[in-house]
Amino acid sequence: MRRVIGMDLHRTFAEVVIWEEGRLRHHGRIDMTRTALEGFAKSLKPTDEVVIEATGNCMAVLRVLSPFVAQVIIANPLQVKAIAHAHVKTDKIDAGVLASLQAAGFLPSIWTPPPEVERMRRLVARRDQVVRHRTRIKNEVHSILHAHLIPRCPHADLFSRVGRAWLQRQPLPSDEILAIERHVRELDRLGEDLEVLDREIAQDALGDPAVKRLMTITGVNLTVAVGLIAAIGDIHRFSSPQKLVSYVGLNPRVRQSGLGLAQHGRISKAGRSHARAMLVEAAWAAAKSPGPLHAFFVRIRARRGHQVAAVAVARKLVTLCWHLLTKEADYLWARPALVATKVRAMELQAGRPARKGNKRGPAYSYNVKELRDREMKAAEQAERAYERFVAQWQPRPPKGKVRERLNPTRLE
């Protein structure tokens, strides 16, 4: 006999409703402690199905309940709300809705990452928090200087050795000097934490061929590659690159009704925000280097501006990542010496010993001007080939539009 247990999770308790033979039965509340959850799990049957919503503690609940039941399903709360909207909303009703949707086969569930992907996601999220905290502290120091009409620092980095020496010479009130010293000490402490996190991330990435494969793309470094792999998880759960683009929220909104034409708006931003932000950063880096991605950026920038072009390149990077991971192939226009330098930097970040005086390794090749210029010329040739291909491409006009509107000088 099939049973579905719906649980509405909170910080201190969980409301439980059981679906059985087409009827809902309120089980009561249980405490959100490991002991209470294990006691509740022992009362369940091995054939039971448990449904919970995606919350901050849902993965811990899944690990406790999984050994005692057939499966634990994590529901997407946004899609559940869209499917089963009710004017009367209580914890008991929410738990019953989860159980009823799963029993009917309409529950919108999410993918449950394996432990290694979950660990990578935690490391990436903690690194992002540290970086954001450091940026906030730097902005506070800059705001203090701005409030007292201190001119801009003549050095490239205000928080470098020469920048800090310049900062100490500025005429500021005693309380502001103490505040800056406190911020600088906090910045140093966060820098140490960042080094530890970077070392852990690099050590986990050393044995992952997918990370090295993504690093062959221009503009994608270790941080971006690991962040993307952590967000994607198993690439085979995305049947097409468009699915992956939607997952990271880079797909445009589309509105269409009746016989009217579809209206495309801004990107949905409905996916993983951290992965989307890293992709945009990688797009800006790729736009500054010669190659097909740079040509694509220039083409979009001429019509839509810098910001839209960067987002378009980020979307192109997502499509490129899908093809590289599914086909298990490196980027065709990769620069080998530059890729070797990225890999060597990852090894050093992971704590591998430095090889002083080694001028035969592939990473050293990037320091040879002749080889570096040769790779740059090859990338420029690929960029020109892309431009010639686009110049010959004539898009099909929309239905009902006159073909004479096409102008070869304005082709995409």
List the helix and strand counts (H, then E) for the chain: 15, 7
Where does the pLDDT of residue 407 fall: very low under 50, low under 70, confident under 90, or very high at 90 and above? very low
Q: Inform me whether the pLDDT recorded for 279 exceeds 60.
A: yes
What was the pLDDT predicted at 404?
A: 42
Query: What is the identity of the amino acid at 6?
Result: G
Q: What is the pLDDT of residues 3-59, one digit of tens each?
A: 999 999 999 999 999 999 999 999 999 999 999 999 999 999 999 999 999 998 999
Q: Inform me whether the pLDDT recorded for 63 exceeds 90.
A: yes
Q: Where are the beta strands (DSSP E) in 32-88?
A: 49-53, 71-75
Q: Inform me whether the pLDDT recorded for 290 exceeds 50.
A: yes
Q: Where are the beta strands (DSSP E) in 241-336?
A: 252-255, 263-267
Closest CA to 218 of 380, 31, 398: 380
Residues forming beta bridges with residue 267, ordered by sequence position: 252
What was the pLDDT predicted at 408?
A: 39
Where does the pLDDT of residue 302 fall: very low under 50, low under 70, confident under 90, or very high at 90 and above? very high
Report the distance separating Cα 322 and Cα 305, nearest Å. Answer: 26
Q: Inform me whether the pLDDT recorded for 238 exceeds 70.
A: yes
293-301 mean pLDDT: 94
What was the pLDDT predicted at 403?
A: 43
Residues forming beta bridges with residue 392, ordered by sequence position: none
Question: Looking at per-residue confidence, does 344 or 395 come out higher?
Answer: 344
What was the pLDDT predicted at 129?
A: 95
Share of the chain above pLDDT 90, in %: 66
Per the CB < 8 A criterion, the answer to whether 313 and 287 are in contact is yes
What was the pLDDT predicted at 397?
A: 58
Q: Inform me whether the pLDDT recorded for 399 exceeds 60.
A: no
What was the pLDDT predicted at 409?
A: 37
Report the distance separating Cα 53 and Cα 73, nearest Å. Answer: 8
Question: How is domain 3-104 classified at the CATH fold level?
Answer: Nucleotidyltransferase; domain 5 (3.30.420)
Question: Looking at per-residue confidence, does 375 or 178 come out higher?
Answer: 178
Burial 261-289 (b: 16+ CB within 10 A, else e): eeeeeebeeebbebbbebbbbbbeebbee
Q: What is the pLDDT of residues 350-365, one digit of tens each?
A: 988 877 655 555 555 5
> pTM of whole model > 0.95?
no
Q: Inform me whether the pLDDT recorded for 251 exceeds 80.
A: yes
191-203 mean pLDDT: 96
Q: How many alpha carbons lie under 13 Å from residue 305 in its C-beta half-sphere?
A: 2
Instruction: Taking each helix axis as running N to C, give the angle between helix 222-232 and helix 273-287, from 0 to 180 degrees, rounded to the nearest 10.
Output: 140
What was the pLDDT predicted at 87?
A: 67
For residue 402 the two structure tokens come to 């006159």
For residue 376 the two structure tokens come to 């740059």
User: At 19, is the secondary structure helix, strand, or coil?
Assistant: strand
107-126 mean pLDDT: 92
Beta carbons within 10 angstroms of residue 351's beta carbon:
10
What was the pLDDT predicted at 86?
A: 65
Per the CB < 8 A criterion, the answer to whether 130 and 193 are in contact is yes
Give me the residue spans of the domains in the chain: 3-104, 115-205, 209-404
Q: What are phi and psi of 117, to 5 degrees?
A: -70, -40
174-188 mean pLDDT: 96
In the block, tokens 């909303």 appear at 89
116-127 mean pLDDT: 94
Query: Which of 88-92, 269-273, 325-329, 393-397 reaches the highest mean pLDDT?
Result: 325-329
Q: Kindly report the average pLDDT of the chain as a whole number.
A: 88
Q: Inform me whether the pLDDT recorded for 207 exceeds 50.
A: yes
Q: What is the pLDDT of residues 100-113, one digit of tens each?
A: 999 998 888 888 89
What was the pLDDT predicted at 273?
A: 87
